[in-house]
Amino acid sequence: MAKKKSVLVQRVNELEDAVTRLFTGEPPAPKTKKRRKAKKAKKGGVKKAAKKAVKAVKKSVKKAVRKVKRKAKR
């Protein structure tokens, strides 16, 4: 497997090529298309939803407990 060149090294190579083309009289090389970064699939979507649901349930339980305590005081 070929090692991937860093962006900086690629750019240096392109510039060197352009300079040599200037002096040799060759036409400029066709521009390379920029590569899009692949979008990563979100992993934590389900976990986040589950956490939110748990948080909501805990909150409602707390409220219910407070109500019961208040009634018990009376």
Residue 1 pLDDT grade (very low, low, confident, very high; cuts 50, 70, 90) = low
Domain ranges for the chain? 1-30, 44-74
Q: What is the pTM of this model?
A: 0.35
Structure tokens at 37: 């970064």
Contacts of 21 (CB under 8 A, 6+ apart): 27, 28, 29
The CA-atom distances, in angstroms, between 14 and each of 11, 36, 60, 73 are: 5, 19, 62, 80
Residue 36 pLDDT grade (very low, low, confident, very high; cuts 50, 70, 90) = confident
Average pLDDT over residues 58-62: 88
- In this predicted structure, the answer to whether residue 13 has a pLDDT above a threshold of 80 is yes
